[in-house]
Structure 1
């Protein structure tokens, strides 16, 4: 054959790629390649250790007898494919959990054959999803789950609870509710905070909960030092588990709030001056630790305290994890059975709780099983409010001042007047010095009260802001329906 009749290498690669793969883009403009009939998609620019599309393409060309091509030909072909894919329809990709057609939910088992679990209104099945219904994205953190066992009659839930050291039945039902919430791609769930005395098995219990969703390779990790590294870890998996927290900085606390309820970050694209890309995220989060110190009010509304106790009988790590691996298929099957049952239950949505979706899920769990999850969730939030108040002298001072008001009474002052008033309440007759971190201006006081507003409202003290013709004001009202708790002297 004459040289003029030969197809350039880039055309051979492009024709082969379009015949064996489907290319599409996501909302952020990233182009993905999906082998025909397979649900797993890879970004065509990825160089990750889980296998890039470039490597996948090179192996396919070689095994099908088309030869080995140099890097220049592959680059030119992928550049053309990427440009063509940008004209295609937008389709999202998912890690581990995804919404499907007709109200179904998919769970990626992380298997090479693409088998996944389809949870639908009448049950659940194991199948390979249609690539146009679900596109899975996998990373190095995507572990393989065993094939779940059907018709377990709830046996797996009992086996899981026997392996964990949860202190009370209320803690157990909250852990179950959280696991069910993790199987919902659109349900924000609070972050479980596994706490307890030293030796209670907090890290082990956290691993057990995480590995039900992430497989036996799922593990806990130390909290990153900055928000950027934390978000990188969040983007690479479904459940993010942080171990042995002893301190929570304001920046880390704010980042955790964003992870739980969802946020978007905009970054400059590499090697560009003006181009940017968007990173959206909302993931289940799990924390362990004995004590993290002062908890900020906005994070307290997004936490789910799960207390553990020290086991009476100790077991070796090898024995414990061998049993866990053996029962994991049954545990996962029982969780899927319970998820179907809970989603079919009818229940009203509580309108007074911040995490309304999770509160509704707890109400559905109660309707399906009678466990009392919603009452346990309310009690846990009440305990967290106590923790916030115990760690904030300003909150204690406001409650002490409000205790002297008549039920239903209103008191209105400017922020500067409130600062002087509350400072006098704190210093008392002995004129003790104000503590470090006490508000120094009316503006600082107003901002602090805005953060404390939900916590104080839970104790029957309502804070509101308004304006008259003369000035702005802050109004404090002692609710007649929910008087504040008795406060200890500070």
Structure 2
């Protein structure tokens, strides 16, 4: 056969690829390849160590006897496949959990055969999802989960709670509620903050919780020093766990708020002048530490304190993790059983809490089991409000000023007048020096009060902003408490 009669290498590669893979794009324009009949998708431009489409294409061509092709032919074929995929329908890809049809959700077990758990209103099953319903994206952070056990009668959760050192039943109920929330692809959950004395097993407890969702290869990590690295790590997995935190600066605190409730970053695409790369993220977050110092009010509303206590009997790491790994299929099966039961339970949605979806989940858990998770969640938020107030001298001064306001009375002043009044109240007759960070202008005071508004409201002090024809004002009110009979109805 003459050279002119030979089929070009790029055509051989393209024909083989179209016969064995489906190509599609996501909403951000990234093109993925999905082996026909399998739910696992890989970006065709990825060179990742978790396995790239280029690698699986080369292996397939070689194993099927079509030969080994040079880089130029592969590049030309992939360029054409990428261009063709841009005309296909948009389909999302998911990491670890995904929405399904008919009110179902999916949990990726991280297996090479694509087997996953379908959680539906009447139960759960181990299936290989239809590729056009669910596309799994895999990264180095995608660990493999064991096949969950059926008919556990809830003993798996008892095993988990026995291995962890949670301080009381209320803390245990919140940990279980958080795990159920992690199996929901679209419901934001607060970030558990595992606290307790030194030696309470905070890191071990954190590892156990995330390994139920992410597999035995999952681990805790130190908080990255910059936002870009943390966002990259968050986007590559499902549960992000940060260990041994001792300080939460303003930037890290704000970024954690975004991770819990969802946000998007945009940066310039490599080797381009005008193109950008969008990264959307909303992930379950877990933190451990003895004390992180002052907690900002907006992060406090997104935290879930889980207190641990020192165990009476110590065990070796090898013994502990061997027992956990053996129990993991039963733990996961019990968690899935309870998830189905909770999702099928009707409960009122609490309307007074920031994380309303998680509060509703706690109410459903209580209705299904009687655990008392919603009350424990409210109590934990109350404790966090106390922590915020104890760490903020401005909040303490506002509450001290509000103590002298008659219930039902509205006090209006400009921000500058409020700053003067609160400064005089703090310094007192002894002229105490103002602390570092005390507001220096009315504008700074107004911004600080906006952050503190939910915390102050939880203590019965309402702060609002308004405007007259001549000036803006800040209004402070202490509502009249309800009659005793109505208070009893509230609780």
Same fold, judged at TM 0.5 (above):
yes
Distance in 2 separating the partners of 1:449 and 1:482 = 26
Instruction: Compute the RMSD of aligned alpha carbons.
Output: 0.8
SS of structure 1 residue aligned to 2:245: coil
Query: Can you give the 5+ residue segments of structure 1 that lack an aligned partner in the other structure?
Result: 484-490
Report matched runs for 1:157-196 at 5 Å: 157-196=157-196
Aligned: 1:138 with 2:111: no
Residue in 1 that maps onto 2:114: 114
Residue in 2 that maps onto 1:147: 147
Q: Is the 8 A contact 1:146 1:329 kept in 2?
A: yes
Deviation at 1:277, TM superposition (A): 1.9
SS of structure 1 residue aligned to 2:248: coil
Residue in 1 that maps onto 2:265: 265
SS of structure 2 residue aligned to 1:367: helix
Deviation at 1:3, TM superposition (A): 2.0
- The number of residues matched between the two structures is 483
Distance in 1 separating the partners of 2:402 and 2:117 = 54
Residue in 1 that maps onto 2:82: 82
Deviation at 1:278, TM superposition (A): 1.1
SS of structure 1 residue aligned to 2:259: helix
Residue in 2 that maps onto 1:91: 91
Residue in 2 that maps onto 1:45: 45
SS of structure 1 residue aligned to 2:42: strand
Deviation at 1:432, TM superposition (A): 1.0
Residue in 1 that maps onto 2:294: 294
Aligned: 1:14 with 2:21: no
Report matched runs for 1:342-381 at 5 Å: 342-381=342-381
Deviation at 1:481, TM superposition (A): 2.8
Q: Per-residue displacement from partner, 1:105-139 (whole Å, max 9, x unpaired)?
A: 00000001111000000000000000000000010
Residue in 2 that maps onto 1:486: none
Q: Per-residue displacement from partner, 1:442-474 (whole Å, max 9, x unpaired)?
A: 000000000000000000000000000110000
Q: Per-residue displacement from partner, 1:70-123 (whole Å, max 9, x unpaired)?
A: 000000000000001011100000000000111110000000111100000000
Q: Is the 8 A contact 1:42 1:52 kept in 2?
A: yes
SS of structure 1 residue aligned to 2:336: helix
Residue in 1 that maps onto 2:280: 280
Distance in 1 separating the partners of 2:37 and 2:481 = 60
Residue in 1 that maps onto 2:230: 230
SS of structure 2 residue aligned to 1:404: coil
Deviation at 1:5, TM superposition (A): 1.8
Deviation at 1:430, TM superposition (A): 1.0
Distance in 1 separating the partners of 2:359 and 2:478 = 27
Distance in 2 separating the partners of 1:482 and 1:99 = 44
Residue in 2 that maps onto 1:468: 468
The 1:330/1:266 distance shift into structure 2, 3 A limit, reads same
Distance in 1 separating the partners of 2:426 and 2:410 = 20
Moved over 4 A (4+): none
Q: Is the 8 A contact 1:459 1:482 kept in 2?
A: no
Aligned: 1:324 with 2:348: no
Deviation at 1:288, TM superposition (A): 0.1
Q: Is the 8 A contact 1:460 1:482 kept in 2?
A: no
Q: Per-residue displacement from partner, 1:16-64 (whole Å, max 9, x unpaired)?
A: 0000000000000000000000110000000000110000000000000
Distance in 1 separating the partners of 2:392 and 2:479 = 21
Aligned: 1:315 with 2:315: yes
Q: Per-residue displacement from partner, 1:245-267 (whole Å, max 9, x unpaired)?
A: 00011000000000000001111
Deviation at 1:397, TM superposition (A): 0.2
Distance in 2 separating the partners of 1:102 and 1:240 = 29
SS of structure 1 residue aligned to 2:175: helix
Distance in 2 separating the partners of 1:111 and 1:184 = 20
Residue in 2 that maps onto 1:69: 69
SS of structure 2 residue aligned to 1:171: helix
SS of structure 1 residue aligned to 2:371: coil
Deviation at 1:482, TM superposition (A): 8.0
Q: Per-residue displacement from partner, 1:296-322 (whole Å, max 9, x unpaired)?
A: 000000000000000000000000000
Report matched runs for 1:386-425 at 5 Å: 386-425=386-425
Deviation at 1:69, TM superposition (A): 0.2
Residue in 1 that maps onto 2:486: none
SS of structure 2 residue aligned to 1:165: coil
